[in-house]
Amino acid sequence: MLFPTIDFAIFFGIVFTLNWLLAPFPRWWKVFILAASYVFYGWWDWRFVFLLAGSTAATTIGGVLVHRAPTLRRRRAMLTLTVVVELGLLGWFKYYGFASQSIDNALHSLGLHGPFPLLNITLPVGISFFTFMGLSYVIDIFRERLVPAPPLDVAVFVAFFPHLVAGPIVRGSELLPQIERAHRRNPRHIDFPRAAYLIMAGLFKKVVLSSYVSSAIVDPVFAAPNQHSALEVIFAVWGYAVQIYCDFSGYTDIAIGCAMLLGFRFPENFNAPYTARSLQDFWRRWHMTLSFWLRDYLYIPLGGSQGGLAMLYRNLMITELLGGLWHGAAWTFVAWGAIHGVGQSLGHYRRQRRVKAGLPAMPEGRLAVAWQRFATFQFVCLGWVFFRATGFGNAWDMLSRLVTGWTMPSPMVTFPVVLAIAVGIGIQYLPKGFATACQEAFGRFGVVLQGATLAGVLLFITTLGPPGVAPFIYFRF
């Protein structure tokens, strides 16, 4: 079920009403919100509801087994078993086809036949997200940061529909206490102005900006880069940077806003990522719940920055490569992760050299900061070429046109395209107090004026947006 649809509007209206009517009855509320979440997930394909239930069962049972194991060795064994089961489900649905095809291609080049059958397996929506949530829950129990929650609470935690199919990745320590105290929520304490702002901003970014740049320049240029000029390729790459930001941050804005209307707080997922001054800074701002997940459950357990520069670079590369593979089962995603791993390693090396020379880790001053932001954005866009490309050939065609395509006209670089890209990047440079000021002003309106304002904004978004709504990009991850 897509957020910007009539189906979801009706669904959320019913859920919102019953959510607050059942709030004083904890068990009934949990049963209802779990059922609603399963309806939401099964709207696309009801058969995958069983996968969600299976993943939830593995998370619940694994947490109990880890907690009850009498020795550290047994606890590690139970944790390992749970991780194998969770990643096994993820691997089968997301990576079996990729792995078998890669092995088959490698053996075919040697004149041999692959040992595995090539199967066409449908990728369940959101499997990467709820798998990582389940893993963090069991690992935190192993680390004694959590104790097993009641099975119904765990089921609601994993399946809660606002975060279910594309994040943010919410940890047990963040959501389970809210589920336990759900009966104490008070609808009068909802921060309605902030929730409304997030939902409207998310809709604008997704329906207007992301959809427009996608159809106006990104999709046509990536589909046939050799038919377009170097300038069109540049704007298509910048356009994709805007598209994926507006698409994904728009989704999480709506998700956070909807959760807020139901009385729950989710962590932020984006913080103006294209204002970053380095790749390290970028990953502190982009898809933050995944970045912090990879840091806490992969990078630090590998050793982090301990053990010397060689270990640091190894850990950065492993984390980024696996982060790339998490996004998709294709070698282009691995290449995208490798680009960021190499970039982060070089950035760390440069900062270390500056510190040893008695200089600040990062040059300061307006021109220096502007250059850092510009250079970081261009490097991120280089990675986006591989992220968006259908294959290495497609990525190479895009990059080669930057050298060979300067004599061609650029009819697709129109004023609306340039404006949409400028707005998509420019909104990240708005003062931090801008959103707060808008919310405070909206909060001072009466109920009638608030309703009229929201209706006007929705009319504006609907007028500018295209017919229909394409699925969110991160649904396929």
pLDDT band (50, 70, 90) for residue 477: low
The yes-or-no verdict on residue 1 having pLDDT over 90 is no
pLDDT score recorded for residue 319 = 95
Q: At what angle do helices 230-261 and 392-404 cross, to 10 degrees?
A: 130
Other Cβ atoms less than 10 A from the Cβ of 125: the count is 24
Active site residues: 327
Q: Tell me the mean pLDDT in the region 181-191.
A: 90
State whether residue 127 is helix, strand or coil: helix
pLDDT band (50, 70, 90) for residue 475: low
Q: Which of 199, 47, 57, 202 is nearest to 125 (CA)?
A: 47
Degrees, nearest 5: CA angle 52-55-60: 120
CA distance 29 to 159: 14
Q: Is the dihedral of CA 255, 258, 259, 265 positive or negative?
A: positive
pLDDT score recorded for residue 104 = 72
Q: Tell me the mean pLDDT in the region 378-407.
A: 94
CA distance 135 to 426: 37
State whether residue 431 is helix, strand or coil: coil
* Integer angstrom CA distances of residue 29 from 25, 262, 378, 450: 6, 12, 48, 29
The alpha carbon of 108 is separated from its chain's Cα centroid by a whole number of angstroms, namely 36
pLDDT score recorded for residue 474 = 65
How much is the CA Rg of the chain, to the nearest whole Å?
A: 23
Contacts for 58 with CB less than 8 Å, ≥ 6 apart:
82, 85, 86, 89, 134
Give per-residue pLDDT as tens, 193-215.
Answer: 999 999 999 999 999 999 999 99
pLDDT band (50, 70, 90) for residue 465: confident
